[in-house]
Each structure stands twice: as C-alpha cells, then as structure tokens.
Amino acid sequence: MMSLWINGEWLAGSGAARQSANPVTGEATWAGNDASPLQV
C-alpha cells in the first residue's frame, strides 16, 4: 500500500510492518509499513 507522501509522491514504506484494527470488532482497517531511516 502506498501510504507515505515522500518527495512529492505516494510510496510504500520499507520499514517495519504496522496494522491498525477496529477496537470494537478487531477487524483490520489499515496495514502498511513504517518509513525506513533512509526514507525519513
């Protein structure tokens, strides 16, 4: 998933994986990766 705005374009992070879930249902609402040190 392209979830990071870097240098004027949407890119996928190449760092650690991360997921967000609905606290009521536990259903995943978003998944992606953090930015790597080189992307920051």
* Across 4-26, average pLDDT: 96
User: What mean pLDDT do residues 15-38 have?
Assistant: 96
Predicted pLDDT of residue 10: 95
pTM: 0.67
Q: What is the CA radius of gyration of the chain?
A: 12
The closest of 29, 15, 19 to 6, measured between CA atoms, is: 15
pLDDT at 1 over 80: no
